[in-house]
Amino acid sequence: MIYSLCLILIGIGLYGILTKRNIVKIIIGFVIMEAGVHLLLILIGYRMQGEAPILQPGMKLSEFITRAVDPLPQALTLTSIVIGLGVLALMIAIAIRLYERYKTFDITEMRRLKG
Amino acid sequence: MEIFQHPFLYPILLPLASGLLCLLLPKILSRVSGWIAVIISAFTVYLVWPLFMSEPQTLDLIANFSFKVDKLSGFILLATTIFGFLISLYSLGFMKKKIYQNKYFAYLLWTIAAACGALLANELIILLSFWGFLGFTLYLMIALGGAQASSAAKKTFIIIGATDSLLILGIGLVWIITGSTRMDGLAIPLNHPHTYIAFLTFAIAAFAKAGAMPFHTWVPDCGEKAPTPVTAFLPASLDKLLGIYLLARTANDLFVMNWAMNTLLMVVGATTVLLAVMMALVQHDLKRLLSYHAVSQVGYMVLGIGTGIPIGIAGGLFHMLNHAVYKSCLFLCTGAVETKTKTTDMDKLGGLAKVMPITFICCLIASLSIAGIPPFNGFASKWMVYQGIIDAGKSSGGLWIIWLAVAMLGSALTLASFVKVLHATFLRKPSAEVKQNTIREVGLSMTIPMIILAVTCVLFGVLAYRLPLNHIILPAVKDTVAFTGIWWAGPATFLLLVGIIVGFVLYFLGNKGKVRMVSTYIGGESLPADEEVTGIDFYKTIQDINPLNALYKMAEKNFFDIYDVGTKFIFLFVEGLRHVHTGRLPWYLSWVVGGLLILLIFLRS
Amino acid sequence: MNHLIPLFIAVPLGAAFFIPLVSRHVKWVPDVFGNLTMFSLAAMSFYTIGQSEVYHLGAWQTPIGIDLRLDGLSSLLLIAINVIGLAATLYSVAYMRIFTSKLRYYSLFLIMVTGMNGVVLTADLFNLYIFMEMAAIASYALVGFGCEHEELEASFKYLVLGSLATLFVLIGVALLYGMTGSLNMAQVATSMQSAAQAAQGTMAKPYIFALGLFICGFALKSALVPFHAWLPDAYQSAPAPISAMLSGVLTKTIGVYVLARLLFNVFGISQQLLLILQILGALSMVVGVLLAIGQWDMKRLFAYHSISQIGYVVLALGLGTPLGIIGGLYHLVNHSVFKSLLFLNAGAVEYSTGTRDLKRLGGLNQALPITGKTSLVASMSIAGIPPFNGFWSKLIIIIACVQAGYYWLAAWAVFVSLVTLASFLKVQKYAFLDAAKMALAKIQHTPFFMGLSMVVLAILCVVTSLAVLSGFDAPVLIAPAADVLIKGLITL
What value of ipTM does the predicted structure carry?
0.92
Is residue B590 in a domain? Answer: yes
Reference C407, options B166, B570, B131; nearest CA is B166
Task: Name the most confidently modeled range: B417-421, B455-459, C133-137.
Answer: C133-137
Q: Which of A68-82, B591-605, C291-305 has the lowest mean pLDDT?
A: A68-82
Does the CB of C372 have a partner CB in chain B at under 8 Å?
A: no
Who among A20, A21, A113 is closest to B583 (CB)? A113
Contacts of A86 in chain C (CB under 8 A): 133, 137
Scanning every residue of chain B, which has its alpha carbon at the shortest distance from the alpha carbon of A18?
A: B586
CA atoms within 13 A on the CB side of B382: 29
Give me the pLDDT at residue B84, please. Answer: 87
Contact criterion met (CB below 8 Å) for B453 and B86: yes
The phi and psi torsions of A22 (rounded to 5 degrees) equal -75, 130
∠ CA C413-C417-C422, rounded to 5°: 150
Does the CB of A54 have a partner CB in chain B at under 8 Å?
A: no
For range B289-311, the mean pLDDT: 85
Scanning every residue of chain A, which has its alpha carbon at the shortest distance from the alpha carbon of B587?
A: A18
Backbone conformation region of residue C274, classed left if phi is above 0, alpha if psi is from -120 to 50, else beta: alpha
Q: What is the pLDDT of residues C438-462, one digit of tens each?
A: 776 777 788 888 889 999 999 988 8
Is the predicted pLDDT of residue B532 greater than 90, yes or no? no
**Mean of all residue pLDDT scores within chain C:** 86
Is the predicted pLDDT of residue B6 greater than 90, yes or no? no
Q: Which residues span the domain enclosing B591? A: 562-604
The bridge status of strand B255-256 relative to strand B188-189 is: parallel
Is the predicted pLDDT of residue C475 greater than 60, yes or no? no
Q: What is the pLDDT of residues B432-480, one digit of tens each?
A: 666 666 777 777 778 888 888 888 888 888 777 777 777 777 777 777 7
- Beta carbons of A108 and B590 less than 8 Å apart: no
Does the CB of A94 have a partner CB in chain C at under 8 Å?
A: yes
Give me the pLDDT at residue B230, please. Answer: 82
Scanning every residue of chain A, which has its alpha carbon at the shortest distance from the alpha carbon of B594?
A: A18
Is residue A49 in a domain? Answer: yes
Reference C70, options C94, C53, C88; nearest CA is C53
Is the predicted pLDDT of residue A28 greater than 90, yes or no? yes
For range C296-300, the mean pLDDT: 90
For range B33-52, the mean pLDDT: 84
What is the nearest CA distance from C292 to chain A, expressed in angstroms? 10
Is residue A88 in a domain? Answer: yes
The phi and psi torsions of C357 (rounded to 5 degrees) equal -75, 115
Does the CB of A40 have a partner CB in chain C at under 8 Å?
A: yes
- Beta carbons of B592 and C394 less than 8 Å apart: no
CA dihedral C436, C441, C442, C447 (to 10 degrees): 100
Give me the pLDDT at residue B512, please. Answer: 63
Compute the distance between CA of residue B277 and CA of residue B296 in angstroms, rounded to an integer: 6
The DSSP annotation for C355-400 comes to: --BTTT---HHHH-HHHHHHHHHHHHHHHT-TTSHHHHHHHHHHHH
Compute the distance between CA of residue C361 and CA of residue C353 in angstroms, rounded to an integer: 8
Number of domains in chain A: 1
The bridge status of strand B521-522 relative to strand B255-256 is: unpaired
Is residue A76 in a domain? Answer: yes
Q: Helix or strand or coil: residue B255?
A: strand
Does the CB of A18 have a partner CB in chain B at under 8 Å?
A: yes
Contact criterion met (CB below 8 Å) for B137 and B111: yes
Give me the pLDDT at residue C118, please. Answer: 92
Does the CB of B580 have a partner CB in chain A at under 8 Å?
A: no
- Beta carbons of B596 and C287 less than 8 Å apart: no
Who among C220, C394, C471 is closest to B592 (CB)? C220
Is the predicted pLDDT of residue B240 greater than 80, yes or no? yes
Task: Name the most confidently modeled range: A49-63, B439-453, B528-542.
Answer: B439-453
Scanning every residue of chain B, which has its alpha carbon at the shortest distance from the alpha carbon of C424?
A: B154
What is the nearest CA distance from B521 to chain C, expressed in angstroms? 46
pLDDT band with cut points at 50, 70 and 90 for residue B38: confident
pLDDT band with cut points at 50, 70 and 90 for residue A25: very high
CB-defined contacts B:C, below 8 A: 155
Chain C positions with Cβ closer than 8 Å to A: 126, 129-130, 133, 137, 140-141, 144, 147-150, 152-157, 159-160, 163-164, 167, 170-171, 173-174, 177-178, 183, 232-233, 236-237, 294-295
Task: Tell me C438's DSSP state.
Answer: S
CB-defined contacts A:C, below 8 A: 84
For range C193-210, the mean pLDDT: 79
What is the nearest CA distance from C357 to chain B, expressed in angstroms? 17
Q: Which residues span the domain enclosing A92? A: 2-109
Give the per-residue SS3 of B296-313.
HHHHHHHHHHHHCCHHHH
Task: Name the most confidently modeled range: A10-19, B471-480, B532-541.
Answer: A10-19
Is residue B371 in a domain? Answer: no
Q: What is the pLDDT of residues B81-136, one digit of tens each?
A: 888 888 888 888 777 777 788 888 888 889 989 988 888 888 888 888 898 898 89
Give me the pLDDT at residue C473, please. Answer: 42
What is the nearest CA distance from C456 to chain B, expressed in angstroms? 17
What is the nearest CA distance from A112 to chain B, expressed in angstroms? 7
Is residue A67 in a domain? Answer: yes
Give me the pLDDT at residue C84, please. Answer: 92
Contacts of B573 in chain C (CB under 8 A): 290
Give me the pLDDT at residue C469, please. Answer: 64
Is residue B596 in a domain? Answer: yes
Give me the pLDDT at residue C492, please. Answer: 45
Give me the pLDDT at residue B34, please. Answer: 82
Is residue B166 in a domain? Answer: no
Give me the pLDDT at residue B3, please. Answer: 56
Does the CB of B148 have a partner CB in chain A at under 8 Å?
A: no
Give me the pLDDT at residue B1, please. Answer: 47
Is residue A114 in a domain? Answer: no
Instruction: Identify the bridge partners of residue C56 per DSSP, sorted by sequence position.
Output: C67
Give me the pLDDT at residue B56, please. Answer: 79
CA atoms within 13 A on the CB side of A99: 9
CATH number of the domain at A43, please: 1.10.287.3510
What is the nearest CA distance from C386 to chain B, expressed in angstroms? 5
The phi and psi torsions of B255 (rounded to 5 degrees) equal -125, 150
**Mean of all residue pLDDT scores within chain B:** 81
Q: Give the neighbours of chain A: at least 3 Cβ pairs within 8 Å.
A: B, C
Is residue B197 in a domain? Answer: no
Is the predicted pLDDT of residue B559 greater than 70, yes or no? no
Q: Helix or strand or coil: residue C62?
A: coil
pTM of the full predicted structure?
0.90
Is residue A54 in a domain? Answer: yes
What are the C-alpha distances in Å from B151 to residues B7, C375, C383, C429?
40, 18, 18, 7
pLDDT band with cut points at 50, 70 and 90 for residue B41: confident
The phi and psi torsions of C28 (rounded to 5 degrees) equal -85, -10
For range B339-358, the mean pLDDT: 79
Query: Which residue would you say has higher pLDDT here, C317 or B213?
Result: C317
- What type of residue is C15? A
Q: What is the pLDDT of residues C59-114, one digit of tens each?
A: 777 667 788 888 888 888 999 999 999 999 999 988 888 887 888 889 999 999 99
Q: Give the neighbours of chain C: at least 3 Cβ pairs within 8 Å.
A: A, B
Compute the distance between CA of residue C437 and CA of residue B412 in angstroms, rounded to an integer: 47
Is the predicted pLDDT of residue C370 greater than 50, yes or no? yes
Quote the longest CA-to-CA distance of chain A.
Answer: 68
Does the CB of B582 have a partner CB in chain A at under 8 Å?
A: yes
Who among C272, C294, C386 is closest to B578 (CB)? C294
Number of domains in chain B: 1
pLDDT band with cut points at 50, 70 and 90 for residue C491: very low
